[in-house]
Structures are given as structure tokens and as C-alpha cells.
Structure 1
Amino acid sequence: MSQPARNPAKPRAFEAIVSHVETRVLSGELRIGDRLPGERELVTQFQVGRSSVREAMRVLESNGLIASRPGDPRGALVLSPSPAPLGKMITRLTHSSASSLVDLLIYRMTLESSANSLAAIRRSDADLEQLEQAIALMRAARAQGQAAFSEADFDFHAVVAKASGHTLLQITAAAVRQSIEQLIAKSIEESSDDEALLARTIEHHQKVFAAIQTQDAHLAEHLARSSLFEYYGHLVPAEQREALAALASFGSPESV
């Protein structure tokens, strides 16, 4: 005998608020820098208690959509899209063995090679100027330690992603990059030849800049894959390294 169909569970009070705000943000009705109604107004609007409103604000803030302070009469501030929530999710998946470092590296190779090639095609003079500034900051950061250098390195890739003109690439590439660096942070700290690594990193970024400047999309794309393998390939299990190396060398100038 078949079981009677169950009615879908009714959303909890805070979930209705979260859904309402997300819909307005995604539709463009709420823009970056806009403010939500204050806590009291939301209580009245949704006919819920303060605890439900505060839980909704906590969830929305955790998802990177707003910046909120309980009781702020001005209401929560709508933020620009951030890679942080996606990065946290990817990191959790990796640590739970639902994914792996190899998966992340292949995904990052795909994202950054696409960003590099699009940047080479679409870059503006202003983008080139910002890339040169980012490389100069990397050189200056060599004497300030790994953290400062990594921040300058991240800025370079952010400019490349922006120059690609692809918003989703900007967000996902940053999230995957953060996840990989969290996953292998200890290995980076234990590197026995930091100076050589930093020098190679700057040299690589200079090559990427040159490829983007001359609008050599093919070379820019290849440089993303080959450099990621050079930096992280030794951390991959030996039985998976050969396949990763093949992907890294695909489309190299020598093979064309």
C-alpha cells in the first residue's frame, strides 16, 4: 500500500527572512552598499521574534551577503560577492575526503588558465599598470616574510582575474586558491629554500605579465598550469603525479 504524500516542511521563521533577502540581492533589487531594514522593522515585517531576525542575520553574514551588528538601527550592510564562504565549503569538502588536493589543483589549473587567457585577450592599459604594481609589491615583500609575499601574490592573481572580465572566475578562483593554501600551509612553512621559491614565483609572474601584455593567450594559459604543477606537484601522491604533469604540459610551446 502506497504511503500518502508528505507536505514539504514549512520553512522556519529565520529561513524565510534569509530567502527573502537572498532573492532581493540576486535580483538586483538590493545593491552593494544598501542597508536592510533595522531589527525592529524586520520583526514587524515578518511577524517573528527578535531571535529569528538575529539568526537570519547570522546566516546571511556567514554566507558573505551582509555585514551586521545586532541592534544596529541603520540595518545590515549589503556586501559585494566574496570568495570566503565558497572557500570554506571547498576546504571542508577536501578535509572530509570528499575531494582531494589533486582535484583542487586540477580545478585551479582550469580556472587560472582560463583567467590568464581571457586577461590576455581583454586586458586594458589600466590592468597592465596594476599588474606591474602587483609584481613590484611582490619584490618589496620578499624581505617581509611569507605572509606578506603571499598577500602580494594573491593581489596579482586578483588583478588577472579582474582583467579577464569574468566575475564568476574571480570568485571561484580566489576561493580555490585559499583552500589550497590552507590545505598545504604547513608544507609551505617547512620549505627549506624559501628565497629560491620566492625568486621563481616572481619570475613566473613576470612571464605571465609579458604574455598578457603581448596578448599571447595561448602562452598565458599554459603558464598557469605549468607553474601550479611546479609549485605543488611534489605534494601530490606519486601515483597521481604523472597524470597531473601531463595536464600541466598540455599545450606547451614546445609541443605546438
Structure 2
Amino acid sequence: MPEGHTLHRLAKLHRRRYAGSTVRVSSPQGRFATSAVDGRLFERAEAHGKHLFHVYGPDATVHVHLGLYGTFTESPHPVTQPVGQVRMRLVGPTHWTDLRGPTRCEVLTDVEVAALRARLGPDPLRRDAKPDLAWARIARSRQSIAVLLMDQTVLAGVGNVYRAEVLFRHGVHPLVPGNQLDRALWDDLWFDLTVLMRAGVKVGRIDTVRPEDLPEVTGRPPRQDRHGGEVYVYRRTGQPCLVCGTPVAAASLAGRNLYWCPTCQPA
């Protein structure tokens, strides 16, 4: 599932291509009612966590959650015939966008958008984020920090990669209960997430390895993985830790895989 930086990157792209323009919105697949937004002014695009919002004005916002299989494809004019199951097609002055396979694609009223966002935790990529709200939930929870970081009602936008990597970078074992976390450490985790995720928005991939541990410095081979990016522990089960050489450990928690270094992140 795409992590928050991907949705913010899409919002930035769609603002640049469509904001301030009248657009045509259709559903070649026929599974999305477009009459409320077709032919209207595209005001702006924004993201909150893993949710994307196309705002068309009072009481008309298209909400998209990509889920596991949703994808956007972006193309310049001329517009061609749909290929495959296109849930939503957005056509602007110079470009067009197709959306396939999302978990959610729906038109919401302002009240419904506000209610949805009220259920989400603070997003490290939003300027209006309030990390104290996340800390309040974490500090009183007996759940592990690994579970809490992935709970979108606690913190919005963090997925499995950022979770594994930010915990490694700060030497935190993933099973430490939230109520045993120090406030200063939480502040460091939040700040690091904002830095890492902003970099992800900029370059379009997740890189978490510090300069001194990069392949060109250490002489190790670059990472070969379809997810791209240089990481410390994510999907590196059994491989040597880039810092201490200990084999990276893995386990399953709440249906998702955990990755950590037993030496750098002691229990």
C-alpha cells in the first residue's frame, strides 16, 4: 500500500496540472458517479495520510484511497481510449489522469470530509499537524510502538517502510509499549519522520540510510528491490545490519511484517 509521501506527491502533481481549471471527470468503468464534479472548477488537491482529496468547491470533494491495488497513470494530451478498468478519468487543459483499482473513490460533502479527517491522526507532511495529539494517544497506550505507528487514527501516512526505518534509526525495538516511550524520543521520531517523508515527496521513493552508510561510502552493493531506495532493515531479513553486521530479524505483528536489528534495537 502506498505510504503518505506518495499521496502528497500526487496531490502536488494534480495541483500543478489541474488547479484553477475546469475539468471533465468521467468513469469509463461506470462504478463512480461523476455528475457532481464533471465540468466544474478543480480548486485544489491535498492529502492527509493515505487519503487524497480533489476539491471542487462547496460540498463536492472527490476522496480517493488507493488501498493495496489502486494506481494513477498520468499522460499529456492527446487523450486516448481507456485501457482496462478505469474507475475515474480526469481531463484538464494539458494532461489527463486515469485511476484504477482504488479501495475508495467517492464524492463527499464538506461535512463528510471533515468527519473523515477527524478520524485520522496528525500527518507529518501537513503544516497543520499537531504531534501532541499523537503523543497523547501513544503515551497512554500499552500497545507496541510498531502497532501505534501504523494506526492511522494515531498517526496518518506512516506505513511499513517508514515504521521499520524510523525505529531502526533511533534504536527503538518495535515491541516497546507506547507508554514506555520517552517524550523526548517521540519528538525525535516525529521530527525524523517529517524529514524522511518530505524527502520521499521530493524524489518519489523512500531513502532512509544516512550518508555514512550509503553504498558509495561503504563499498557494499546498492539495494536491488522493486520498492527502490536505500533502507536499513525493511525487507532485509537475514541480511547483515548495515551498521553492526547482525542479521536483520523479522516477525509478523497484526498481519504485517516487522523488521529490526536485534543489536541496534535491543528489547
TM category (shorter chain) comes to under 0.3
> Structure 2 length as normaliser, TM-score?
0.25
Indicate the structure with greater helix content: 1
Indicate the structure with greater strand content: 2
> Structure 1 length as normaliser, TM-score?
0.26
